[in-house]
Amino acid sequence: MAMLTSEATAAERDTISLDRGWQFHLGELSDVSKVKDAASVTVNLPHDFLIGQPWVEPDASERPDNSDAGSNVRSRLSPRGFKEMNVGWYRLTLMPDDEWRGRRVVIDFQGIMLVGDVWLNGQRIGGTDYGYLGFDIDISDKLKYGQENEIVVKADTQQPNNSRWYTGGGLYRDVNLVVTDKSLYFPRHPLFIRTENNNEVKIQAEIACHDKTDKIRAEVRILDAEGNVVASKRHDIDFNAKWRTREYELPAIALPDAQLWSCESPYLYTAEVTLYDNEGRVADRISEQFGVRTVEFTPERGLLLNGKKVLLKGWANHHTLGALGAAAFPRAIEKRLKLMKEFGYNHVRTSHNPYSEDFLRLCDRLGLLVVDELYDKWLTQYAGGRVEWESLWQKDVPEFIKRDRNHPSVVLWSLGNELQQYANLPFNDWGVTAYRLQRELLRRYDDTRLVTVAMHPRYRSLDTDSIPAPLALATDIASYNYRYMYFPGDSRRYPDKIFYQSEASTAAMGPNYFEMDLDRVVGLAYWGAIDYLGESMGWPVKGWNQGVFDISLQPKPDAYFLKSFFSDEPTAHIAVVEEGKGKMMWNGVDISVGKYSENWNRTAGDTVSLYTYTNGDEVELLMNGKSLGTKKNESDPKRRNRIRWDGIVYQPGTVTAVARKDGKETARHSLETTGEAVALQLVGDKQTWHADGKDLQHVRITAVDKKGRRVLSADEKLTFKVVGDAEIVAVDNGNIQSDELAVGNERHLFMGSALVILRAGTQPSDIVLEVTSQKYKTKKLKLTST
């Protein structure tokens, strides 16, 4: 039972986490009253109940791949990661604090995957039909004081064919109680913060007032990144009791010499707004971070951030986090965002549904630009499946926009994806009316950003490459998935249009970047740059494996090819060409990615081919110190930054690529022949590990030879044990074909590597991870949570 007490003073807002101590049951129950006896496992949030379920191999009646995903029952397993869909029940009991009597108490769910229902003390009090967005429920008058109160949540992923990928399932984001004054308070997502001329802050605040008064006193303080107050203003708002809840425009606040938010310097201010009651006491206070920046799009220059051209160099993935499934751990999100920035990415498209609020906060802090997407298709099937889509968007659009509009990282709204493949869109006009209705409602809550829809194919006819579909012309930005080759012709026909390659194929990586007019286009987002569960092209592969990072976030060799043109950092990297590339089609696009390795343990005398990736002028290749020649980096988009070497006779030892620019060495990379694996190396994350019950520690285990070099052939089984206030929440090795589960304490090495993810408890502790195997000496890693 959760014993909950307020830490805030009696009049101020208090937010209390309900993430810990839920009882859980997997499977259907006849009645909500059965949950108490059935829920025998204790889980902490965020939680994905599907990730630990067994893999299900498709039988003869099902398609083993992703063809007809979502529309054909025979392919029901492949898009969902070869997991059987199910129902999860969660139960939590709490004892309300007596100080809450007479106050407003709200339970806030940041998301329930995929659809969900909530009961309090046996009474259904609310739920969601679209689990990618949150909601709250006022339980002020429903709580029973002096006794236990029972909260039950049902999370359901079983709606037929209701997603084209692995969604996860359950309470996969945070749940909180919010306690405020009952007479004067801020409702959900109340602030709309805008900046003008980079020196003025304007705030619109939604306020609920049930007092007998004709004035509401509000105070705004602007704090800099160090927490210092740099501007403030008090204001008496004229209140009319006819509108108990309404939006008020607060007086503008000057912010001279403001520091601008950018990808290179993502400076964040905080707006703190306080409401005072008639006696001058604090009734409610809320704060939200924001950035000072300008965003402009033009046909001639694409995206301008603070008046400067910025090319979006991004990726588009689903919301899941590898072995953690859908569970939205902030540290796991931060790890992948930092990794992508290291490789030169500055952009992410949240395909095809809203990500967590923590994701956007981290993009704000790290300086990544976001195209924020609301839906996949405008069809009931792909929007939860429980109610008609036409009855959802009027509620979803306000929640989505009000939740995300203050994030400086968000530069463009996207309302959908690949819609014109479906003839049964609402209003039978290629989605134009549905788009305009949503955009009109969107602009009610944010008139500062443009709106788009990702198109594929971009044309009107599904059989011929004719002119763009009407929806492509109706959107503010013309976003084409893969069809960048039509940008030049379409821009001549429609000179006022602005073009963005909303999905780009990793198989065409390089040409689909260099062949664009980079001075004019908005940029691009590489589809599935990180491997993910679901949308498999065939069993036993459990998901998408065409990325440049594996599902455990290890870079594949061609990640460095992308880095060579996404980043200004001098790059040289060797990729050995392996056999196994076959033609693979996806949405009419060839996504056949070559198979490359960094394996330099081969048979002497074999002939190999390899690529050297570089942004230098030339590369010299050396074998055991002897030059094999120098090749120029070509300007042809199909070969730029990617130099092929054929007929290389393999010799054990070292092969080295040396990149030069203007005759001077800028970078080098070597592959070495390794010896037998003799030991394990354990390396954890370097950041502080917080004992907050949710923070993670990613520990990479590598098999090395006596010189400390990773041995790619090592594949032994490892067993993990943790001592201290922490738990193992996931294991991985990057092998998306493996039948091993991501939940447990065992995992084989793959390519000489494995990953263990630890979750901190709530007590600062010395923690030891112990790794054992039959071959290697037991290895221990000592960690500390603080």
pLDDT at 320: 98
* Angle subtended at Cα 202 by Cα 200 and Cα 208, rounded to the nearest 5 degrees: 160
As a whole number, the mean pLDDT across the chain is 93
Q: State the DSSP code for 32.
A: G
- Give the per-residue pLDDT at 467: 83
pLDDT at 422: 67
Q: What is the pTM of this model?
A: 0.96
Cα–Cα nearest to 328, from 352, 355, 348, 347? 355
**∠186-187-192 over CA atoms, to 5°?**
75
pLDDT at 160 over 60: no
**pLDDT at residue 78 is higher than 80:** no
Confidence band (pLDDT; 50, 70, 90) for 593?
Answer: low
Whether the Cβ atoms of residue 596 and residue 576 lie closer than 8 Å to each other: yes
pLDDT in tens, 645-678: 999 999 999 999 999 999 999 999 999 999 999 9
Assign 1 a pLDDT band (cuts: 50, 70, 90). low
Q: Is the pLDDT assigned to residue 235 strictly greater than 70?
A: yes
Q: What is the reported pLDDT for 419?
A: 82
Show Cβ contacts of residue 123 under 8 Å, excluding neighbours closer than 6 positions: 142
What pLDDT score was predicted for residue 163? Answer: 85
How confident is the model at residue 464, as a pLDDT? 62
Per-residue pLDDT, 240: 82
Q: Which of 159-163, 365-369, 378-382 is most confident?
A: 365-369
Dmax (CA) for the chain in angstroms is 91
Cβ atoms of 438 and 397 closer than 8 Å? yes
- Judged against a pLDDT cut of 50, whether residue 302 lies above it is answered with yes
Q: In the chain, pLDDT over 90 holds for what percent of residues?
A: 85
pLDDT, average across residues 135-157 = 97
Q: Return the minimum-mean-pLDDT range out of 61-75, 162-176, 536-550.
A: 61-75
Give the per-residue SS3 of 495-549: CCCCEEEEEECHHHCCHHHHCCCCCCCCEEEEECCECEEECCCCCCCCEECCCCE
CA dist 287 and 319 (Å) reads: 26
Tokens found for residue 273: 């707004």
pLDDT in tens, 480-495: 999 999 999 999 999 9
